[in-house]
Structure 1
Amino acid sequence: IISPTLTLYALTPLPLLAIAVFFMARMVHHRSDRLQQQYSTLTSRVQEALSGIRVLKAYTREEAEAEAFDEESREYRARNLDLAWIESAWRPSFLLLVGVSTVIVVWMGGRLVAEGAITIGNIAEYIIYINMMTWPVASLGFVITMIQRASASVLRLQKIMDRTPDIDDGPQTDPSIQTIEGAIRFRDVWYQYEDEDEPALRGVSFDLPADHTLAIVGRTGSGKSTLVRMIPRLLEPDVGTVEIDGHDLRTIPLKTLREGMGYVPQDVFLFSDTVANNIAFGDLDADRAAIRRAAAEADLAENVADFPDGFDTYVGERGITLSGGQKQRTSIARALIQDPRILIFDDALSAVDTATERNILHSLRQRQGGHTLVIVSHRLSAVQEADLILVMERGEVVQRGTHDELVAQEGLYADLHEKQLLEEEIQAL
């Protein structure tokens, strides 16, 4: 060291540099997190608007939606500028501290030269060394900025990745169970959603042998969908047990359970891909022949033949280019291609006409003996040939039996049947 005293004075700004790094890093991280949150809000708004573009046009809400988008965009710009202001202060702040160090060297070095402790050449050396530090210090600011931006994004991802599933395999799981046959049993099942005051299911019990058909009917909000979501263990009962083949669902590995089921929900979701790939999502190893068979069973083949590129036609985001009935039938074909032991239709025929419904049910009956079928439907025509019909009201099974048995009884099923017969007669006029 040429001069310990001058070296000490030259490094005096370092503590200030450390403090600046600490506070600026915190500010960059905080503002980056706020920016990411607003970006998420903005992109969600755009995606929602594009998905519901037909509704927006139907209600002439284009201008209102554009104004809402502008407001979100202005907020995003404001947060971006806030972050840019902090980031722009990095380099000047660091260069200022380097300049302060140079001034200190010249000032203290001059005094030491006057005392004869060092030479003018030594001062020049110190200034050169300080200038050599300029680029590394500036780079440090750039790197810290990038790290803080990235860490804000990573933390948002970690919040998602670190979440544990509410329903998963546990200590009770028996890995030796590798297949299911399809017998379903509910034993006094109760369930209540967290934000509801009343139970969605109240003491539901029934037995369905394998390879039989169960139909569930009832008014809207009677608990039909909640009941069928218990079967693939999308929900777990608060009280009671659900069994498949005599095994409590909690003892069956989730992979085994769900691989043995085909579930068609009320709200159909299709990927922005081809018709073929949406169907084959149920079986990634399926060949084109299997895809065609599944489409035929779902009464979709004739529609696909009219598409511009057949099975290679892109359906758009969430299947926006398809009609409601076509989306439902594509989802049904996706379930059928798995050849599942248990097939669940949660009001999956609501958007198809009566003739199409009849064709699909005929295909399913031809499969009978190879799977257990569970159908939720508002149309009694879809459930008339079921082996067991459950009639639900406010979460309870108020009637059960076959179609003929229930029609002969006084009750909700007979009322629904009579109303639908009247509707059909009126439509026929």
Structure 2
Amino acid sequence: MTIFGKLMWFFRTHKRLYALGLSFLFLTEISQMVSPALVGRFTDEVVSRTLTIEKIFLYAGGILLFSLLMYVFRYAWITNIFQGSALLEKTLRQQLFDHYMIMDTTFYQRHRTGDLMAHATNDLSAVQRVASGGILMLVDSVVVIIFTVISMIIVVDWRLTLIGVLPLPLLVIGVWYLSPKIRAAFTQSQEAFSRLSNKSQESIAGIKAIKTLGQESADVEAFEIQVKDAIQVNKRVARIDALFGPMATVIMTLSYVIMMTYGGSLVIDKAITIGQLVSFSTYLGLLVWPMFGLGQLFNVLERGNASYIRVQNILSEKSAISEAENGVVEPAKGDLVIQINQFTYPDTDNQEPTLKNIHVSVKSGGTVGIVGRVGSGKTTLIKLLLRQFDGYSGVIRVGNVNIKDYTLKAYLQAIGYVAQENFLFSTTIRDNIRFSDMNKSQEDVAFAAKQADFHDDILSLPAGYDTEVGEHGVSLSGGQKQRLAIARALINDPEILILDDALSAVDARTEKNILRVLKTQRADKTTIIAAHRISSVMTADEIIVLDHGEIKERGTHETLIEMDGWYAKMFRQQQLVTEIVKKGNGKAGIDG
């Protein structure tokens, strides 16, 4: 199916807009056909010496009048057709952005950020050109050719017209041959642009790491390789694209040669007049743009087709996370019950379960701590609680309702989540804290900041809550970023608060203050704390120790210490480290 066929859903939706545009385009072409006829008549009047002042003004006025009409009609069709193309770009851009918002974690693991950005920019621009320049060149070229040929037959001579346009089918053959090649080349070009875009995005996002590790030269070299690859691909596109123009030139030259030889013989035989030959030459000149336009048309269409296929491939992907029909719309509330028999990450060759036999119950208002060595499954368990993956054997319930039976809005709005590394937006501290609800008052924002032990730090900043955090929170320290993220999660007083190693960058005093606030002010809400630092979970009602995706130990802090297992060993090690640090600080103070 051609790109026009694929976009027919849009053209039907906005048929009035395109009908108006094409109608004015037809009127433009009709007006354009009159001037060559008037020029021919004027030439014959000059040759026959029958031209008068009145006729000069008549012919000049007629040409001027139809030129003005062409101006008005051309403005009208450009306004309508380009308005339609802007609507297409808006529609597709909104579809793509909405699609990005509902896709699951697996989708973002398969597609790089730069590639997704290329779809939303370069690909959509190529499709948009189909609905503007593509429509223009298609209709304009076809209509001009048809009207010009008809005018040639009526105004000049059907024999000269028939022979003069004989070379034109050669253009169709050339386009038919080159179109698949330009489509394949442009697909490769778009893919090269995606790779280059992704490389740029990664380098800019990781500029601190690149500079810290002294890898500027290596990264520049890697970027240059990507640029050279993109240039080579685009050179191939340019080589194929460059064949259209010369091909049209050769074909039009053949038509002019036929006009000069055969048309000249008809003038000698007095079958046509010199004025008619001049008119024919002018009409033939009108065919130059359509010939080049057809070449550009197929270029635009193939580029648009390649890009539309890329966009549709993205839009056709389905999220593995789906809402149940007639899902529960009331906010999730109540006891949390986790019964996961087995879970394995999708799209992985490793068939060994990441989690197995995880059975945990947390009463509403309770706190559970999750600890374990790196890779033990802590973050994976949290991902399942956040519904980033649904393909597990077992069930997770909140308030005796399977979390898959809630609407995503009802479930996720009941959860406050804070990761170790949090994304902060390039706006003020205030707007970052109230990001989930921009209608929250300053009092609400300040209260959440106090809960996160961040309020005093904010007031010490020059602009206070109006301080711009910069891109990714570049103006804040690691501990400040974490506390801002905690405040952002607490401002909505979530039914379930999940802290995924979210206190790793704060000092012991701050950690203690935050945990005390959570214990006292969230007495009726559930809190889940996953951490490497034992001090973060010591006060939890129950602590589970994960190892290779299974619960190896569980109980309160005191119970686990008595068990003298992994938990007790890690607690003693961390206590020893803390003591060494304290002694070191004390010695440094004495020496100072």
Superposition TM-score, scaled by structure 2 size = 0.67
Amino acid at match of 1:78: Q
| C-alpha distance in 2 between matches for 1:277 and 1:143 | 48
Give the match for residue 412 of structure 1. Answer: 566
Deviations 1:321-356 (A, max 9, x none): 322222222221221122211111111111111111
Give the match for residue 265 of structure 1. Answer: 419
Matched-pair contact (CA < 8 Å) for 1:189–1:237: no
| C-alpha distance in 2 between matches for 1:392 and 1:142 | 63
Name whichever of 40-49 and 327-336 sits farther off.
40-49
Matches within 5 A, 1:238-387: 238-387=392-541
Matched-pair contact (CA < 8 Å) for 1:275–1:312: yes
Give the match for residue 186 of structure 1. Answer: 338
Name whichever of 240-249 and 136-145 sits farther off.
136-145
Q: Secondary structure at the match of 2:338?
A: strand
> Shift in Å at residue 86 of structure 1?
3.8
CA gap 1:244/1:69 in 2 versus in 1, 3 angstroms: same
Matched-pair contact (CA < 8 Å) for 2:357–2:550: yes
Deviations 1:127-154 (A, max 9, x none): 2211122234334444554454444444
The partner residue of 1:100 within 254, 259, 263 is: 254
Name whichever of 416-425 and 20-29 sits farther off.
20-29
Deviations 1:217-266 (A, max 9, x none): 11111111111211121122431111111111221111111011111123
| C-alpha distance in 2 between matches for 1:21 and 1:289 | 68
Amino acid at match of 1:242: I
| C-alpha distance in 2 between matches for 1:287 and 1:85 | 61
Give the match for residue 359 of structure 2. Answer: 205
| C-alpha distance in 2 between matches for 1:279 and 1:159 | 36
> Shift in Å at residue 422 of structure 1?
2.0
CA gap 1:391/1:161 in 2 versus in 1, 3 angstroms: same
Deviations 1:254-309 (A, max 9, x none): 11110111111233222233322222222232233322222222222233234343
| C-alpha distance in 2 between matches for 1:306 and 1:217 | 35
Q: Secondary structure at the match of 1:349?
A: coil
The answer on 1:79 being equivalent to 2:233 is: yes
| C-alpha distance in 1 between matches for 2:429 and 2:176 | 53
CA gap 1:26/1:313 in 2 versus in 1, 3 angstroms: farther
- Give the length in aligned residue pairs: 427
Q: Secondary structure at the match of 1:180?
A: coil
Matched-pair contact (CA < 8 Å) for 1:189–1:242: no
What RMSD, in angstroms, separates the aligned Cα atoms of the two structures? 2.5
CA gap 1:29/1:307 in 2 versus in 1, 3 angstroms: farther
| C-alpha distance in 2 between matches for 1:26 and 1:375 | 57
CA gap 1:138/1:371 in 2 versus in 1, 3 angstroms: same
Amino acid at match of 1:220: V
Name whichever of 378-387 and 73-82 sits farther off.
73-82
Percent identity (aligned): 36
Give the match for residue 421 of structure 1. Answer: 575
> Shift in Å at residue 119 of structure 1?
5.2
Matches within 5 A, 1:115-126: 118=272, 121-126=275-280
Amino acid at match of 2:258: I
CA gap 1:20/1:53 in 2 versus in 1, 3 angstroms: same
The answer on 1:13 being equivalent to 2:167 is: yes
| C-alpha distance in 1 between matches for 2:260 and 2:488 | 78
Matched-pair contact (CA < 8 Å) for 1:182–1:342: no
Deviations 1:173-202 (A, max 9, x none): 443441111421122431112243421111
Superposition TM-score, scaled by structure 1 size = 0.90
Larger radius of gyration: 2
| C-alpha distance in 1 between matches for 2:191 and 2:390 | 32
Give the match for residue 327 of structure 2. Answer: 175
CA gap 1:39/1:300 in 2 versus in 1, 3 angstroms: farther
Amino acid at match of 1:186: I
| Unaligned stretches of 5+ residues in structure 1 | none
| C-alpha distance in 2 between matches for 1:351 and 1:213 | 21
Matched-pair contact (CA < 8 Å) for 2:418–2:499: yes
Matched-pair contact (CA < 8 Å) for 2:331–2:410: yes
Amino acid at match of 2:412: R
Deviations 1:14-50 (A, max 9, x none): 3222233344444444333333322332232233223
Matched-pair contact (CA < 8 Å) for 2:414–2:496: yes
Matches within 5 A, 1:132-147: 132-147=286-301
CA gap 1:317/1:87 in 2 versus in 1, 3 angstroms: farther
| C-alpha distance in 2 between matches for 1:80 and 1:289 | 56
| C-alpha distance in 1 between matches for 2:168 and 2:396 | 67
| C-alpha distance in 2 between matches for 1:147 and 1:373 | 56
Name whichever of 280-289 and 249-258 sits farther off.
280-289
Matched-pair contact (CA < 8 Å) for 2:334–2:400: no
Deviations 1:376-425 (A, max 9, x none): 01111111111121111111111222112222223222222222222222
CA gap 1:237/1:125 in 2 versus in 1, 3 angstroms: closer
| C-alpha distance in 2 between matches for 1:330 and 1:144 | 53
The partner residue of 1:235 within 363, 370, 389 is: 389
The partner residue of 1:41 within 195, 203, 210 is: 195
Give the match for residue 209 of structure 2. Answer: 55
Amino acid at match of 1:341: E
The answer on 1:156 being equivalent to 2:298 is: no
Matched-pair contact (CA < 8 Å) for 1:190–1:237: no
Deviations 1:43-92 (A, max 9, x none): 32233223222222222211111222222223333334443444444333
Matched-pair contact (CA < 8 Å) for 1:345–1:376: yes
Name whichever of 82-91 and 59-68 sits farther off.
82-91
CA gap 1:305/1:20 in 2 versus in 1, 3 angstroms: farther
CA gap 1:132/1:266 in 2 versus in 1, 3 angstroms: same
The partner residue of 2:551 within 369, 381, 397 is: 397
| C-alpha distance in 2 between matches for 1:138 and 1:45 | 37
| C-alpha distance in 1 between matches for 2:333 and 2:564 | 35
Name whichever of 294-303 and 376-385 sits farther off.
294-303
| Unaligned stretches of 5+ residues in structure 2 | 1-152, 584-592
Matched-pair contact (CA < 8 Å) for 1:191–1:237: yes
Which has more helix, going by share of residues? 2
